[in-house]
Amino acid sequence: MRLADGTHLTYCSNIHPGETWAEVRENLERYVTRVRDRVCTGRPFGIGLRLSARAAADLSDAATFDEFAAFLARERMYVFTVNGFPYGTFHGTRVKEDVYLPDWRDDERVRYTDQLADLLARLLPADIEGSISTVPGAYKAALQDEGEARLMADNIVRHVAHLVELERSTGKHIALALEPEPCCYLETVEESVAFFTRHLFSETCVRRLVQLTGLAPSGAAHALRRHLGICLDLCHAAVEFEDPARCVQDLLDAGIRIPKVQISSGLRIPRLTPDTLAALEPYQDAVYLHQVVENGSAGLRRFDDLPEAFATVKGGLREAEWRVHFHVPVFVEALSGFSSTQFFLRDMLAAHRRTPLSPHLEVETYTWDVLPAALRTQAVEDAVAREMQWVLGQLDASSSMQSRATR
């Protein structure tokens, strides 16, 4: 939904298991309409659409696309952002580090993201910018050398060339938003600024985009900054112990846009004790990576998953704080034995209330099926609606609900 300041707020449909278009379409009918009715009755509702490669291929069929377009018109919905991070299966089976594959070293990541952009350009209302969030380059442990960083940058520029051509042919502007995540090539804001500065905004990439699009060098440099940016996931940033004000300012100072903010909350264990560690054990699961960042006497220390972190304290506890990449509902602050990183959300949403950080806000608590039972005491659509209402409250949006029509 569009708020009074022009920001679009939604939630990501990746919370609902579904890899085929038929499954995604059923989820939109079953769940998204119910969330819409709870948070913005009578107003157009924007969808944060997650499409696997398989679902994107299905939706590219002409008849299937036309049926979906008719559904959107009938239900007063619109699509303004796509989650292009998980390429394949995302629920019910081991995902872990495979979620980053194919990464930006692979031509298939380019092809898939191009296809998502084609679909989004057709779905996007004329007066709205589109965004596609994507993997943070690659899983850090999978990379060998700096040459692979240059390869990723070149493939990203190839996608930017596709976005430039789409805008020429359709008039629709779409930005690709790389999403920093713990233990990935783009992990922190500092690393993200370095990659954009050293590679994506470099003369090499400008010349490459000139070659691919025929733009003048100045136009190519502008296009790279206009079509590329960061998807700032607030769980990831909090887990990395980012400073709320500084992380945004560092991106802006580097000329890096934030086309999308994902509103999500992780776990905060301020002190390691037998009780807090016992309370944390139910958050281990066989599906997703739950990276841990420790802040202790030696500074920040990172673990790829909870079991690795637990293994380091079997010989004795130490004075340290842990933050864990495990998305929990954003309205939850106190948890059994520890807390969430909701404090970080409150700070960031307060900053957005003063000066919008991004045109797109997306609630993203995709872990519903692996949450401990104590956090799954209501229907998923009720929990999502409650999350969105909490965000609106943080934005002081009671008056902002008088949204401008999208079309």
> Tens digits of per-residue pLDDT, 106-121?
999 999 999 999 999 9
Could you give the 3-state DSSP secondary structure of residue 290? coil
Per-residue pLDDT for 68 more than 70? yes
**Residues paired with 335 in a beta bridge:** 338
Distance (Å, whole) CA 65 – CA 176? 22
Distance (Å, whole) CA 373 – CA 131? 34
Domain coordinates in residue numbering, the chain: 8-265+339-394
- In the chain, pLDDT over 70 holds for what percent of residues? 97
pLDDT of residue 55: 98
Could you give the 3-state DSSP secondary structure of residue 268? strand
pLDDT of residue 396: 83
Distance (Å, whole) CA 405 – CA 407? 6
Terminal CA-CA length for the chain? 12
Distance (Å, whole) CA 79 – CA 2? 12
Distance (Å, whole) CA 343 – CA 350? 11
pLDDT of residue 315: 83
Q: What is the DSSP string of 71-117?
A: HHHHHTEEEEEEE-S--S--SSS--GGGGG-S-TTSHHHHHHHHHHH
pLDDT band at residue 332 using 50, 70 and 90 as cut-offs: very high
Contacting residues for 74 by C-beta, under 8 A, at least 6 apart: none
Provide the 10 A C-beta neighbour count for residue 144.
7
For residue 179, give the nearest of 87, 270, 248, 84 by alpha carbon. 84
Rg (CA), the chain: 20
> Tens digits of per-residue pLDDT, 297-309?
999 999 999 999 9
pLDDT band at residue 41 using 50, 70 and 90 as cut-offs: confident
Yes or no: say if 217 and 193 are a contact pair by the CB < 8 Å rule: no
> Tens digits of per-residue pLDDT, 185-214?
999 999 999 999 999 999 999 999 999 999
404: DSSP letter: P
Asked: is 8-265+339-394 a CATH 3.40.710.10 domain? The reply is: no
